[in-house]
Structure 1
Amino acid sequence: MSEITRRTLLAAMGGLAATSPFGPAFAQGEFPNRPIRLINPWTPGGPADTVGRPVAQKASESLGQPVVMENRPGANGTIGATFVARAAPDGYTLFFSHVGPIAISPNFASGLQFDPIRDFTPITQLVSGPIVLVVRPDVPARSVPELLELAKRQPGQLSYGSVGPASTTHLAGEMLALMGKVQLLHVPYQGAAPVITDLLGGRIHFAFINFSAAIAQAQAGKLHVIAVSTPRRSVKLPDVPTVAETLPGFEVNSWYGIMGPGGLPRPIVDKLHQAFAAAIRSPEISSALEAQGFGIEATTPDQYAQKIRDDLRRWGELQRATNIRIG
């Protein structure tokens, strides 16, 4: 074979690889053939690490390549989201997705550099993350109807704390006020610890707070858990009703999942879904996370895509009703 003919053949083969319908990862060899980065948009040591790191390790075993969690925090999770949105759709850069940057910020924040639908490919929702509605012991309400009745008798005087503006803990209170047709006083804090401190100190009346932040105080009888924010009751608190049992349609779900950049080829999506869904369902991981209040989901890519669309609609309706904006 002449050198010219050989070069022509190699060029043609390269062109076929570049235009492979399954994407460059499949054209260049079986996926995955190198480590995968899982971008965590939150700081190390938080709830995202609690879910993400064991799942990444377990998924590594079935994928045959390391899945390395890399923290890129900032701007309510949108810095990490922007990084993944701009990555190549080859399966080697994934997003440890969360309701905040994917469904809340697109409705409440200005100047985002990504579109949550166009720029991402859903792979699986790993878990649901309920937040719990807690009241201090001297507040005469042990149910959502009783809390709403108390708020109606004291318009604008019943106060609730949150971990910051437009956080799930803030917006849960706004949704409760809107759907319950009451006026509440929002008191923002920087983190869960001062919310708990002021609840125990009698300076605020109630709060929506992460399960892990409230459960120890609740078990000690210092706070009362009267509801959970997700549509289904918590496995850990089966006797505690959902807010939706009083206000149908109420849902504040601090979920986590796995997404890739937009345009990720379906064969890669399916392989990643199989690995991550199996990881979250593994007995050692699922039991540990359920003990911390998480609900195991392991949804299909299509189910996760629908969940994101539903949440974008729900949070959009709340934004339009409250006119809350951040950034």
Structure 2
Amino acid sequence: MTQAITRRLLLGASIATTAAPALAQGAWPNRPIRFISPWPPGGPADLIGRPIIEKVAAALGQPVVLETRPGAGGTLAVASVARAAPDGYTVLFSQAGPNAITPAFRSVPYDPIRDFIPVTQLVSSGLVFVVRPGIAANTVAELVNVARASNPGLNFGSIGPASTTHLAGEMFMRAAGINLLHVPYTGSTQPITDMLAGRIDMGFWNIGAVMGHIQSGMLRPLAVTTLGRSSRLPNVPALAETYPGLEMNSWYGVHMPAGTPQPIIDRLHTEFVAAVRAPDVSARLIEAGLEIEGTSPAQFAQKIAGDLQRMQELQRATGLRAE
């Protein structure tokens, strides 16, 4: 199935379309471009999206207008771009959740492969696996032993069912052969607070959200969920070092509606990669705990295929459904 998904994505990423409405109407772009974000103001839209599109706008000579359309776990915004005209004037600020994870756990009003052309993965954001100080484990192996010996068992918090913070825990349990009680919340602030208070034993959180607590010694990092080690936590091993192939990270990227002319895809790829790699932008994003990517459309297509395939396999194995 992975090969089939990859072929479909690569076709969308690499084959130029014959219909070119935007090019037929004159040089592109000749009017403002809409940059659709699935998140409300103040989140990834402002931290990641805004500084990048400011540079893209300067390079293109046209405004790139940030439009936030939160709701339904990001799927409302994604669906709106799937229905948009493929003329180069509607760009999706895409993310792993609505574009590669949610479609594996519930029905969505778009096809994450056929309805879009991937342009570039801008950044990635791994999770860090942390435990509260009262847990007598300094390594993943020690934690597994503690979990097997605990009665009652240990628990882990998440920001909600089928979120990356939940799925990371499910993947870890399956790889380690242990059981942990999942305690879902509706955001990251309260479960992290409860970890500090000793009510939650462990969790998988965005590095930026818990970095201060790690530095203060209030939370102990055991591993990161990227395939390699994080530049922010270089001394913390990856879970994949113990369980090969175990990966759970989030990413942010750029997608266009299927049918967008290839010259527009190529130009957008050039400008978005240049923007995210600009020294002032990349320094700000790295400080926030993000890894700079700037991949090719083909590389991004393969990333999406791998993520979607792993999530579909996890859904079949666990029966999990997103709300």
Alignment TM class, shorter chain as reference: over 0.9
What 5-or-longer segments of structure 1 have no aligned partner?
1-19
Partners of 1:48 and 1:256 within 8 A in 2: no
Q: Alpha carbons of 1:174 and 1:271: their partners in 2 closer, same or farther (altered >3 Å)? A: same
2:11 is matched with which residue?
none
Larger radius of gyration: 1
Q: Deviations over 1:268-291 (max 9, x none)?
A: 100000000000000111111111
Q: Which amino acid aligns with 1:51?
A: I
Matched, 1:187 2:207: no
Percent identity for Structure 1 against Structure 2: 55
Q: Deviations over 1:31-79 (max 9, x none)?
A: 1111111110012111343111111111111111111111000111100
Distance 1:66 1:113 in 2: 29
Q: Normalised by the size of structure 1, how large is the TM-score?
A: 0.91
Counterpart among 232, 235, 248 of residue 236 in structure 1: 232
Q: What does 1:246-265 correspond to in 2, within 5 Å?
A: 246-265=242-261
1:316 is matched with which residue?
312
1:121 is matched with which residue?
117
The aligned length equals 307
2:48 is matched with which residue?
51
Partners of 2:119 and 2:254 within 8 A in 1: yes
Q: Deviations over 1:146-167 (max 9, x none)?
A: 2122222237711000011111
Q: Alpha carbons of 1:156 and 1:80: their partners in 2 closer, same or farther (altered >3 Å)? A: farther
2:264 is matched with which residue?
268
Matched, 1:198 2:191: no
Distance 1:131 1:48 in 2: 19
Q: CA deviation at 1:195?
A: 0.9
CA RMSD of aligned residues (A): 1.3
1:279 is matched with which residue?
275
Counterpart among 21, 24, 35 of residue 21 in structure 2: 24
Distance 2:88 2:268 in 1: 8
Q: Which amino acid aligns with 1:86?
A: R
2:7 is matched with which residue?
none
Q: What does 1:278-317 correspond to in 2, within 5 Å?
A: 278-317=274-313
Bigger mean CA deviation after superposition, 315-324 or 21-30? 21-30
What 5-or-longer segments of structure 2 have no aligned partner?
1-16
1:14 is matched with which residue?
none
Distance 2:45 2:236 in 1: 25
Distance 1:128 1:302 in 2: 16
Bigger mean CA deviation after superposition, 310-319 or 151-160? 151-160
Q: Normalised by the size of structure 2, how large is the TM-score?
A: 0.92
1:139 is matched with which residue?
135
Matched, 1:91 2:88: yes
After the TM superposition, list the runs of 4 or more consecutive aligned residues in structure 1 that deviate by more than 3 angstroms.
none
